[in-house]
Amino acid sequence: MTQPTFSTHLGMVDILPDETPKWQKLEQIIHEEARKFNFEEIRTPILEQTELIARGVGELTDIVTKEMFAFERGDDHYVLRPECTAPVVRAFVEHHLDQRGGSQKLYYIGPMFRAERPQKGRQRQFHQFGAEILGADDPIADVDMIALMMSIYNRIGISNTTLKINSVGDPESRKAYKNALKDYFRPKLDQLSDISQKRFENNPMRILDSKEEEDQPFIEDAPIITDFLNEATAAHYTEVKNHLDSLGISYEEDPHLVRGLDYYTRTAFELISPDLGAQDALGGGGRYDLLVEEVGGQPTPAVGFAAGMERLLIACEELDIELAEPKSVDIYIVTIGDNARKWALKHLPKLRNADISATMDYIGRSVKAQMKDADRENARYSIIVGDNELKKGKFTLRNMKESEEQALDFDAIIKKLSDQ
Ligand code: HAM
């Protein structure tokens, strides 16, 4: 009988042990930068109510119409979260986080799920880090949050990026703009792609996001939203730009930037990298001043961003940025015989308690094979332990790189390694 073979689902990727060190390093950098900006971590469940995502992200978005992993169990409708803004807003409302006072500055790291067609930089399970500020209307909040996003890329050394910004207006400005867009596209409707024709009625702004060749000439000459902003929204947008200028964060205005989620109001932005190919958005975000109300909370202005971690790591690869050191262990205990193995097992904790990483062979290999294994493990030091060494209480500590050896007792070995 043939054994079945198993593999991950399409677009779902194992992160193997050779890869995890750079993920850990990236996560560490995110935690450290978030702490400097005084953001607090929030962790929400992977599964949410389908209705929350449909309402939050928008019934007509690609995410909700085509890309949700959703299922039912009993009377409950579950969806694997495709993003984390709606879940964070749900948690904010459900747990009355506004009562903690002031604006809530939250961040998260974790897997998201979208049933998209996989390609480089696009997976069905992918990871985001993101941040949200709930309860702040001031353009300073928009810009401090963009500064947090940029600080993570800058620290890693990904500096060849373009920050694109736009204002997608408040409901009043958007109504006027949508009408103008419809008036503009209506006479050209039969020349637009099928997908844009579908968007025309309910969501004409999404036509601007079309990647279809035949739509491009029409998009180029389409009216731009910034001509339709009311006074307050225009002033907010100007202040965002002024604050970005004052921080020396360069940006490009892109009046056609609309983003693929429906909750945005006013500021919208994307961070683009030329090192990524077709899926060139490292991250994106903006204001969503109406979402908290939409999900049942009090009116609460809010702004946030999320960034793809796989894409960040692809950019690192393209730029030859090594995020993590190659794996290594401080000391490998090479054993000869059963007494030595028992001694090693008892002495490993003493090393580890002194913050020294330490390992030994579990499968009874020869001394030669253990030395080879120590090399493969990138051990900085090894000691060989046999009956002779145990009798004398002295061990030959070998510096693996420099091939130097020194005879020391066990306490001296701990001291030497912890001094380094
Ligand atoms: P988003 O633009 O849908 O925004 O996703 C943010 C980032 O997640 C993208 O720029 C990209 O780097 C990454 N990403 C999205 N889909 C995939 C995928 N299939 N494979 C790999 N990476 C992907 C949001 O999710 C909003 N929640 C951002 C936000 C937060 N707005 C306000 N607050």
Domains of the chain, start order: 20-170+230-318 (3.30.930.10), 329-419 (3.40.50.800)
Question: How does pLDDT run across 300-343, given as a tens digit for each residue?
Answer: 999 999 999 999 999 999 999 999 998 999 999 999 999 999 99
Compute, in angstroms, the gap from residue 312 CA to the centroid of ligand 1.
12
Q: What is the pLDDT of residue 281?
A: 95
pLDDT surpasses 90 at 294: yes
Does residue 114 have its Cβ closer than 6 Å to ligand 1? yes
Does pLDDT of 188 surpass 80? yes
Given 3-state DSSP classes, what are the helix, strand and coil percentages for the chain, each rounded to the nearest 5? 45, 20, 35
Q: How far is the CA of 259 from the centre of ligand 1 (A)?
A: 10
Burial 269-300 (b: 16+ CB within 10 A, else e): bbbbbebbeebbbbbbbbbbbbbbebbebeeb
| pTM value surpassing 0.85 | yes
For atom 21 of ligand 1, the residue with the nearest CA is 122
CA of 231 to the centre of ligand 1 (A): 30
The arithmetic mean of pLDDT across residues 83-89, rounded, is 98
Pocket test residue of 62, 67, 83, 123 for ligand 1, highest count of atoms within 8 A of CB: 83
Which segment of 74-83, 139-148, 211-220 scores lowest on mean pLDDT? 211-220
The protein residue whose alpha carbon is closest to atom 33 in ligand 1 is 304
- Quick one: tokens of 362? 């579990």
What tokens appear for 357 in the block? 């990483």
Beta carbon of 33 within 6 Å of any ligand 1 atom:
no
User: Ligand 1 in contact with 56 (CB < 6 A)?
Assistant: no
Compute the distance from residue 279 Cα to the ligand 1 centre, in Å: 11
- Strand-pairing partners, residue 105, are 133
Query: Model confidence at 243, in pLDDT bands (50, 70, 90)?
Result: very high
**SS3 of residue 43 by DSSP:** coil
At residue 308, the pLDDT reads 98
Ligand 1 centroid – CA 127 distance (Å): 9
129 CA distance to ligand 1 centroid (A)?
A: 9
Distances (CA, A) of 113 to 11, 56, 124, 125, 292: 10, 16, 5, 5, 22
Q: Is the CB of 284 under 6 A from ligand 1?
A: yes
Longest Cα–Cα distance in the chain: 95
Q: Is the CB of 85 under 6 A from ligand 1?
A: yes
88-98, pLDDT tens digit by residue? Answer: 999 999 999 99
Is 1 a residue whose pLDDT tops 80?
no
Nearest atom, ligand 1, residue 306 CA: 28
Confidence (pLDDT) at 60: 86
**pLDDT score, position 4:** 84
Instruction: State the pLDDT confidence band at 206, using cuts at 50, 70 and 90.
Output: confident
Q: What is the pLDDT of residue 203?
A: 85
CB 288 within 8 A of CB 263: yes
Contacts of 223 (CB under 8 A, 6+ apart): 177, 180, 181, 184
Indicate whether 63 pLDDT > 80.
Answer: yes
